[in-house]
Structure 1
Amino acid sequence: MDELALLKLSEGPVTRSRLVRDLSALGLRAGDVVMFHTRLSALGYVTGGSQTVIDALRQVVGDQGTLMVTCGWNDAPPYEWTSWPREWQDAIRAEHPAFDAGRSEADHSYGRLPEALRRTPGAVRSRHPDASFAALGAAAHRLMDDHPWDDPHGPDSPLARLVQLGGKVLLLGAPLDSLTLLHHAEALSDAPGKRFVDYEQPLLEAGERVWRRFHDIDSSEGAYDYTPVVGGTVDAFEVIGREFVAAGGGSQGRVGAAESHLFDARELTESGVRWIEENVTGAEKAGRS
């Protein structure tokens, strides 16, 4: 066990009641609609793991509050599958399972909490296979229903509805580059060189497996080439988040053993749009000079 792990363990177990106290001190309140990202290991030894975190969050936001996570689809066919050899394409088109909101696993790279929340009784998952979200609570259907097939991070997306509902974004020990809401800022921004993807994925419609085409910003490789702005070793979302925090955005505090952040979704989105439009446009002009 490394030194950091020993330090976290030395602080004692992180229980539900401790999480409730820490989340309340951070500024989470009853009735809040909150999208959260969690690095569970950073919190310390959480007794009960994912279930305890979800239960603590539900206790703080109460019956009128709502929890939201980004899920994606762990086993989605990659964007480029239609460029593979014909026999491979034929096999995938014939037999790849359709996205099923009730069964298809959340992207494992997002950690344990999205999968745990989407499987919680009463949770609602959005219909979009590649950009799916899940929510639990009073506003779950308002956030999730009729997720647009195209531009699923843009207007009328679950992210847009989070902003409209006065929602918040919570990072529980998760790094600033995990701010999925900034994909919404990318979708809304007007800057040169925005990158898009068109792709096909299978889903269920009226119980039938069908292939549907989708159009979206490139949330995998990046909606913009940020390299001229931030270089090749730093994630642009981390830079945007760091500058937002430095300017006084949101609140910071410890939840369990982890440094955590709570942001206003509208303020973060607006800050992200401004940063992109100012910096990406500047980089484009510098490249032409």
Structure 2
Amino acid sequence: MDEHAAVDAVDDPVTVDRIAADLRDLGVDAGDTLIVHSALSELGWVAGGPQAVVDALQRVVTESGTIVMPTHSTQYSDPSVWTSPPVPDDWIPRIRESMPPFRPAVTPTRSMGAVAECFRDYPGTRRSQHPLYSFAAWGADAAAVVDAHSFANGMGEDSPLARVYERDGSVLLLGTDHATNTSLHLAEYRADIDADETTAGAPIQRDGDREWVEWTDIEHDNGDFPDIGAAFEAECSAAITAGEVGAATTKLVDQPALVDFAVEWMSEQR
């Protein structure tokens, strides 16, 4: 919604205090490990914008817990595979040679939303080194979640998604739905499916120098994520709490339960 619609969506400004209270009512608590997907515009008019959302999350989860957000920068993929839009073939070598290297502290996110873009360089936040599929984390286990993020199979077993799973974490869908739920990608690696492999590449900075690196990964497919999410919610309602944060329809989801369900669903349906 635009800013006029955001004002009309709520009776009062959505404040840090209100967001924090709504999160607690939903079941978010101090010490939780929480991976957050958010759409700021769905909350209504927020006093302070994305900063208010990050402040409220930190207030509720506290430094005893861990907040994680996807901070993907898919503009750092190989230009030869770009489709939205594609670039002329004769541009590709120049782009590969001249693109600045991915740097966790400064490289912006792409299509991750205002909250994740705000969160990625918040004081105390750490961001993983993956040039396409980085995650940022803040709190007690931030380093353990993001520091050993493998380039190969970037949302698989050596990714922050698996570290959240190990900690019995939760997914917070804050005004979003399962179509953007990155935890379902972890299930793609674990499911018994015949996923195609691809080679990806990007420029990174290593020891002060720019370096082009390449790695292998699977071809990701989120086209059935809404179907998986709907089936999970129908069959595993005890693993989900739904409510509102501001004006946003919000769901708190047991991440391991969701991933385990998705592994079985993909193995049968894909």
TM-score (normalised: structure 1): 0.85
**Residue 60 (str. 1) matches residue 60 (str. 2):** yes
Offset at residue 49 of structure 1 (A): 0.8
Aligned to 2:100: 97
What secondary structure does 2:259 align onto? Answer: helix
What secondary structure does 1:110 align onto? Answer: coil
Residue-by-residue CA offset, 1:227-264 (whole Å, 9 max, x unaligned) = xxxxxxxx411111111112213110111111100011
Aligned residues: 264
Max Rg structure: 1
**Residue 237 (str. 1) matches residue 225 (str. 2):** yes
Contact persistence 2:6–2:45 (CA under 8 A) = no
120-129 vs 86-95, which moves further? 86-95
Q: Match for 1:200: what amino acid?
A: G
Aligned to 1:228: none
User: Structure 2 CA distance, aligned partners of 1:102 and 1:3?
Assistant: 33
Offset at residue 176 of structure 1 (A): 2.1
Q: Percent identity?
A: 36
Residue-by-residue CA offset, 1:117-164 (whole Å, 9 max, x unaligned) = 011011100001011111111111000012111111111211000100
User: Structure 1 CA distance, aligned partners of 2:160 and 2:207?
Assistant: 23
Residue-by-residue CA offset, 1:63-87 (whole Å, 9 max, x unaligned) = 2111111111153144525998775
After TM superposition, the runs of 4+ consecutive aligned structure 1 residues lying more than 6 A away are 1-4, 82-86
User: Structure 2 CA distance, aligned partners of 1:149 and 1:45?
Assistant: 38
User: Structure 2 CA distance, aligned partners of 1:87 and 1:173?
Assistant: 41
Alignment of 1:1-289 (within 5 A): 5=6, 7-9=8-10, 11-73=11-73, 75-78=75-78, 80=80, 87-107=90-110, 109-192=111-194, 194-219=195-220, 222=221, 235-247=223-235, 248=237, 249-280=239-270
Residue-by-residue CA offset, 1:259-283 (whole Å, 9 max, x unaligned) = 1000111111101111101111xxx
Q: Match for 1:169: what amino acid?
A: V
Offset at residue 4 of structure 1 (A): 6.2
Label 1:20 to 1:84 Cα distance change in 2 as closer, same or farther (>3 A).
Answer: closer
Label 1:90 to 1:79 Cα distance change in 2 as closer, same or farther (>3 A).
Answer: closer
Q: Match for 1:28: what amino acid?
A: V
What secondary structure does 2:258 align onto? Answer: helix
What secondary structure does 1:213 align onto? Answer: strand
Residue-by-residue CA offset, 1:145-188 (whole Å, 9 max, x unaligned) = 12111111111211000100111100111122111110111111
Offset at residue 93 of structure 1 (A): 3.1
Q: Match for 2:225: what amino acid?
A: F
Label 1:86 to 1:21 Cα distance change in 2 as closer, same or farther (>3 A).
Answer: closer
Q: Match for 1:92: what amino acid?
A: I
What secondary structure does 2:14 align onto? Answer: coil
Label 1:3 to 1:103 Cα distance change in 2 as closer, same or farther (>3 A).
Answer: closer
User: Structure 1 CA distance, aligned partners of 2:5 and 2:227?
Assistant: 25
TM-score (normalised: structure 2): 0.91
Aligned to 1:232: none
What secondary structure does 1:202 align onto? Answer: strand
**Gap runs ≥5 in structure 2:** none
Q: Match for 1:184: what amino acid?
A: L
Label 1:95 to 1:238 Cα distance change in 2 as closer, same or farther (>3 A).
Answer: same
